[in-house]
């Protein structure tokens, strides 16, 4: 097995390679003056099971193209198998038709990767895992929530309240709660499909005087966390934290979240941001070690 260090996740790829004790292949990449992408694998991969590590946060489209190019280059160089590790998988939220005339974007992304030569995919906390069934090759999502919860237990926050901003994220809050050992609950969230505006509403639970941590898979514009934090304040939470796997933090999201009374935003290195305080390397290297020995 060899690990290809995709340009979008070279640092994470290095850490994974070191922990899993797998040989690395670096990648030369550039963008041509007209905006087209170029990549070249800088090592031999013939007869190898090649694992390409490349996240696809913004700029999503060029990172996806780079990923497809790396997979195709590996196959051209006679790799035996190509597995892609995509910590943040772009377009996973468009996993069904919400409005007439739309595309199921994640299905198109999966077909494109398949055509490029991808044989298997591993991602982290995919928005809706049932979309993986649409992939034409084996694909799985692994969870970084235990790593995030452990970050808080190491800070001494055992028994903190784990809050999901909506029912769909309750499995995430439950997963965190099993490590934190406190209670868990969820709010209600509605998003306007045309404007993207979110409206978060209250549910009944007791957070008065407690530390509450809002857990979500993604923080994008921050609207969801701001709405949830306002409700936690109204309910008398003593301290509020926001934890997510993919801290996209678009525009002034970080400022808006902190202004809403959140003490700290904690994310992983699936996406590079100031909130990337927890590394996915132990989680992914464990997965690759199992693949190696399996
Ligand atoms: C969607 O349901 C996700 O789980 C997140 O809650 C959402 O992507 C967060 O988006 P934003 O930060 O823009 O509210």
State pLDDT tens for residues 5-46: 999 999 999 999 999 999 999 999 999 999 999 999 999 999
Model pLDDT, residue 80? 98
Q: In which band, very low, low, confident or very high, does the pLDDT at 197 lie, cut at 50, 70 and 90?
A: confident
Q: In which band, very low, low, confident or very high, does the pLDDT at 204 lie, cut at 50, 70 and 90?
A: confident
Model pLDDT, residue 201? 77
Tokens representing residue 181 in the block? 């050992």
State pLDDT tens for residues 55-70: 999 999 999 999 999 9
Compute the average pLDDT of residues 50-57: 98
**To test ligand 1's pocket by mutation, which of 57, 93, 164, 216 has the most ligand atoms within 8 angstroms of CB?**
216
Residue nearest to atom 5 of ligand 1 (CA): 218
Ligand 1 atom closest to the CA of 217, numbered from 1: 4
Angstrom distances, CA of residue 256 to CA of 199, 211, 221, 238: 15, 20, 9, 19
Q: Which amino acids are annotated catalytic?
A: 189
**Residue 269 CA to ligand 1 centre (angstroms):** 18
Q: In which band, very low, low, confident or very high, does the pLDDT at 212 lie, cut at 50, 70 and 90?
A: very high
Q: Quick one: DSSP state of residue 133?
A: G
Model pLDDT, residue 195? 83
State pLDDT tens for residues 270-279: 999 999 999 9
**Residue 37 CA to ligand 1 centre (angstroms):** 29
Determine phi and psi for 123, rounding to 5 degrees.
-130, 180
Model pLDDT, residue 287? 97
What average pLDDT is seen over the chain?
95
* Nearest Cα to Cα of residue 27 among 47, 2, 57: 2
Model pLDDT, residue 198? 76
Query: Is the CB of 218 inside a 6 Å radius of any atom of ligand 1?
Result: yes
The whole-angstrom distance between residue 105's C-alpha and the CA centroid of its chain comes to 17
Which contacts of 270-273 are long-range, i.e. CB under 8 A and separated by 24 or more positions?
Answer: 270/12, 270/55, 270/57, 270/87, 270/88, 270/124, 270/144, 270/245, 270/246, 271/55, 271/57, 271/87, 271/88, 271/246, 271/247, 272/57, 273/247, 273/248, 273/249
Model pLDDT, residue 128? 86
């Amino acid at each position: 097995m060899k690990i290809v260090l995709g340009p979008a996740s070279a640092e994470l790829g290095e850490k994974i390679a070191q922990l899993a004790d797998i040989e690395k292949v670096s990648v030369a990449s550039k963008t041509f003056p007209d905006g087209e992408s170029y990549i070249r694998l800088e090592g031999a991969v013939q007869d190898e099971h090649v694992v390409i590590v490349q996240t696809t946060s913004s700029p999503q489209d060029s990172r996806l193209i780079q990923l497809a190019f790396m997979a195709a280059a590996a196959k051209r160089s006679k790799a035996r198998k190509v597995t892609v590790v995509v910590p943040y998988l772009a377009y996973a939220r468009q996993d069904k038709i919400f409005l007439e005339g739309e595309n199921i974007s994640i299905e198109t992304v999966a077909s494109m990767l398949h055509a490029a030569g991808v044989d298997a995919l591993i991602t982290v906390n995919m928005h809706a895992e049932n979309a993986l069934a649409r992939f034409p090759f084996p694909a799985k999502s692994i969870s970084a929530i235990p790593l995030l919860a452990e970050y808080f237990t190491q800070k001494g926050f055992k028994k903190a309240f784990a809050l999901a901003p909506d029912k769909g994220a309750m499995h995430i809050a439950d997963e965190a709660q099993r490590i934190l050992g406190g209670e868990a609950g969820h709010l209600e969230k509605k998003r306007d499909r045309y404007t993207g505006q979110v409206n978060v509403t209250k549910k009944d639970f007791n957070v008065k005087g407690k530390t509450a941590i809002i857990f979500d898979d993604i923080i994008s514009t921050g609207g969801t966390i701001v709405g949830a934090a306002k409700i936690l304040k109204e309910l008398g939470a003593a301290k509020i934290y926001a934890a997510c796997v993919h801290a996209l933090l678009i525009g002034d999201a970080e400022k808006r979240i902190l202004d809403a009374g959140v003490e700290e935003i904690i994310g992983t290195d699936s996406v590079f941001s100031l909130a990337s305080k927890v590394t996915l390397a132990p989680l992914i290297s464990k997965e690759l070690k199992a693949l190696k020995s399996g």
